[in-house]
Chains A and B, each alone.
Chain A
Amino acid sequence: MKTVQQQARNVYAMIPMPMLRYGLGIWIDLSAFNGEKVLKEKQDAISEIRVPKGVSVTKLSSHDKTFREKYREGLLKHDENKFTALLYSLLKDATVIRIPKGTTVQTPIYIHSKAHAEKIIIIAEPHTKITIIEISDMPETLYFKGQSIDVYAEEGAHVYFYAMQDLDEETYNFSIKRGYVQSRACIDWTDVTLGSKVTMQHTCTFLSAPEAHATKKSMFIGSAAQQFDINDEMIHEAPQTKAHMQSRGVLNDRAKTIYRGKIKIKREAPQCVSQQKADNLLLTEYVRCNAVPILEVDNDNVICSHGATFKKIDDEQEFYLNTRGVDKEQAKEMIVKGFVDELINEIPDETIKEKIQKRIEEKIKATEHVHATDH
């Protein structure tokens, strides 16, 4: 890993900080971020990984050379941008989670993500079925958290990946998840984004063989001055692949979100079905909510659509609840919970669901200072 780390450091030093400007005045403010500080600080926390019987967890360095070369930068190269370079500069090793052929287990794999920077490679061998729950909710300030997770769903494998991010509000969170889906395999991603100061969360799924399938659900609740840059991508590389993306965002206080959802259907991938839908609920007049859904279609034999909506809490719904004796704050809570419920109710862990519900309540409360400064 040493050489990649060294190369990454060189790349990091060479390329300028990205502007994160997506055109037409849509951008994320990164001016306060100090990458040098991240490189200097020594942080040794490691992530806890709990796996059911039959699933192996190893270090990448313990594998042979061919394996290391195949998977080390398998789906994410160190020189893609300044942040990938920064992430690889911090990585000493990577973790490999391997689900052997034919394994189907009910008990989920738990990843309690505590590391400052980490790379996890998940290989679901043919005809496996596995649930992964990833939680990053370190209470202390990390300042920077970098994460790269590569999921390989081999032929006929089915991977359910649930992630909840609730980092403290001083941390810059940089997370790249990539999935590589083989024939008749499937990855179902669910992301719940609650914490951090700035989050760049990119999830890209390659539907690389016929009849591969993927879904992506994103739920985010931004409050205070949080900034979220959420980018979901589905790349249809083979015929008869299917994908579905759905996002629900709630914005409170002065939160700023950019949701980008991209469907790319290549020329060599006919008979694909792909959909994307992004809905946003805006709670205060000071939020900044952006969406750039993208379709890139190079094939005529497709069914492809996308949509995006922006709205505030419906007066009629609120009024109805008021007439039933529910006060304004409670009504807001009910409406918000109802809005995101569809995306989180499948999480197979009651404790996490309860925690999310509790955080929703905290995050959507009207904060006094916002109103005080602007009126």
Chain B
Amino acid sequence: MKPEINIDRKLYDSADDHTPKLVAQPGITEEIVRMISETKNEPEWMLEKRLKGLKLFFETPMPTWGPDLSQLDVNKIIYFVDPNAKETDNWDEVPEEIKRTFDRLGIPEAEKNVLAGVGAQYDSNVVYHNILKELKDKGVIFENMDVAVQKYPELVKKYFMTSCIPVHDHKFIMLHAAAWSGGTFIYVPKGVKVELPLQAYFRMNEEKGGQFEHTLIVVDEGAELHYIEGCSSPQYNSNSLHAGCVELHVLTGARMRYTSIENWSKNVFNLNTKRALVQRNANMVWVNGNMGSARTMLYPSSVLVGEGAHAESLGIAFAGPGQEQDTGSKVVHAAPNTTSILRSKSISKGGGKASYRGLVHVAPHAKNAKSTVRCDALIIDDQSSSNTYPFMKVDNNDMHVAHEATVGKIGEEELFYLMSRGLNEEQAMQMIVTGFIEPVVKALPLEYAVELNKLIEMEMEGL
């Protein structure tokens, strides 16, 4: 009996027949940056930020560590693609072929049932945005980032690429600052608890395209938010680039959970940056799944700047043929009594390479900080690789830091046991892998857990 696997990767990999309104010339130049800014009718300070980013990008060399980026030619990427669709809060107004894509991905359906609000971005622009009225009435802002720049200039100016991820952070953040377009802006006012998750879905459709969405979330004092991000793109022969930026400000006593499933097609270079500034007694939880892309370099970070702040991170990476997943969590304990728990799982198969690259830094004045890191890697065959590079930097003695990692294959005894119970080898392997990733899957909202499980099953097929 073959397990029933009816999910089809074509769902993500097939491109839509959509003609965009505007496609910029490949490569990044001052002209294109000015054009993007002008199209969006941006204020002067934003244009200055973009130009500063561009200048720094040209001056900064490519990183020399991590996965091989030689196949990525930043001059061939198209930095701005306007999908010819006005943003709307009604799915019926979304152009038919774009709507079809999101329908297939199940976004409108999920919105009806389990979400408090949805944003959908297609190439460079957001095409759909909607939030429950009762949340709007409580003062929750859920906007397209481009709109937020116009509508809430003060909030945006205060938080946009300032204290959390400054423009000069690293090479691809500089590029992001120059070319960013779309994304999400969320503000949850003091004490407001958003019970249902808000979701954004990012879809990259144009060949050789680049997506540079900016997510800025401010969870004010005592507020709560769960945000879900999903990403996918069609399969092309040429490479695309995704260099998003996620900035989270979790203020005093607030709670934030950020769930993200990145399932880019295998021609995408996913060089994403995610960071949270966590204030006093606030709580930050990252849940990350990285399945797709050719190369991923993504290290969700939590900077615990307030006393008693807590961060958790759960990550899973799957590296199949031709893929290199270079991911890991970073946490900086910059205040006393801060705690963190980082957990990571990786699977490599068919020549794939999964690497964990993490950081735990305990600053000199971060007394009584506690951090635990646990990484497990599963290698499915002898063609694949797994690396672990945890950095631990401890600058005071009143703390407790522990790191643990294991690498191994599927145990022959486990396999034998399951096969003696009547499962064939493939089913037994799938069952073990499902068990291996369970701690992460359990942390996901139901539909995502199902999707992730199906994806892993699909990737495990034909062993």
Contact = CB atoms under 8 A, between A and B. Distances in A.
A338 interface: no
B361 A291 contact: no
Given A285-B397, A310-B400, A305 B382 contact: no
Given A282-B394, A285-B364, A292 B389 contact: yes
Contacts of A287: 395-397
B402 A304 contact: no
A299 B405 contact: no
A288 B397 CA distance: 9
B395 A288 contact: yes
Interface string B406-428: 11110000000000000000000
B358 to A, nearest CB: 10
Contact of B397 (A24, A270, A282, A307): A282
Interface in B360-418: 361-362, 364, 367, 377, 379-409
Contact of A304 (B362, B398, B408): B408
B391 A23 contact: yes
B298 to A, nearest CB: 16
A86 B327 CA distance: 38
B393 A297 contact: no
Contacts of B458: none
A23 B407 contact: no
Interface in A252-291: 267, 270, 280, 282-291
A140 to B, nearest CB: 33
Nearest to A311: B400
B65 interface: yes
Nearest to A282: B397
Q: Interface on chain B toward A: helix, strand, loop, or mixed SS?
A: strand
A298 interface: yes
B24 interface: no
Contact of A295 (B367, B388, B394): B388
B387 A295 contact: yes
A294 interface: yes
B359 interface: yes
Nearest to B362: A310
A24 to B, nearest CB: 5
B405 A292 contact: no
A298 B403 contact: no
A293 interface: yes
Given A294-B388, A305-B406, A308-B403, A300 B397 contact: no
Contacts of A251: 397
Contacts of A301: 382, 409
A224 to B, nearest CB: 16
A327 interface: no
Given A26-B393, A285-B364, A295-B388, A304 B407 contact: yes
B392 A310 contact: yes
B446 to A, nearest CB: 32
Secondary structure of the A contact surface, majority rule: strand
A312 interface: yes
Interface string A174-190: 00000000000000000
Contacts of B388: 293-295, 306
Nearest to A251: B397
A304 B367 CA distance: 33
Interface residues on A, range: 35 or more
Contacts of A289: 394-395
A309 interface: yes
B433 to A, nearest CB: 13
Nearest to B374: A307
A280 B362 CA distance: 14
Interface size bracket, B side:
35 or more
A294 B386 CA distance: 11
A267 B402 contact: no
A29 interface: no
A302 B389 CA distance: 18
Nearest to B365: A285
B392 A292 contact: yes
B361 A25 contact: yes
Interface string A1-29: 00000000000000000000011111000
Contact of B405 (A25, A270, A306): A306
A307 B400 CA distance: 14
B425 to A, nearest CB: 15
Contacts of B381: 300
Contacts of A283: 397
A307 B382 contact: no
Contact of A294 (B364, B377, B389, B395): B389
B408 A303 contact: yes
Contacts of A24: 359, 361, 391, 393
Contacts of B65: 23
B387 to A, nearest CB: 5
Interface in A150-201: none
Nearest to B384: A300
Given A284-B397, A294-B387, A308 B382 contact: no
A262 to B, nearest CB: 10
B361 A302 contact: no
A290 B359 CA distance: 11
A329 interface: no
Contacts of A291: 392, 403
A346 interface: no
A302 B395 CA distance: 34
A362 interface: no
A300 B380 contact: yes
A291 B399 CA distance: 15
A312 to B, nearest CB: 4
A342 interface: no
A79 to B, nearest CB: 20
Contacts of A305: 404-407
10 contacts: A25-B393, A291-B403, A297-B379, A304-B406, A305-B405, A306-B388, A308-B390, A308-B401, A310-B401, A311-B399
Interface of A: 22-26, 251, 267, 270, 280, 282-312
The 4 closest A-B pairs by CB, nearest first: A282-B397, A300-B379, A300-B409, A295-B388
Given A299-B379, A310-B402, 16 more contacts: A22-B391, A24-B393, A26-B391, A284-B397, A285-B398, A288-B395, A289-B394, A291-B403, A292-B389, A293-B405, A294-B388, A295-B388, A299-B382, A302-B408, A305-B405, A308-B401
Interface of B: 65, 359, 361-362, 364, 367, 377, 379-409
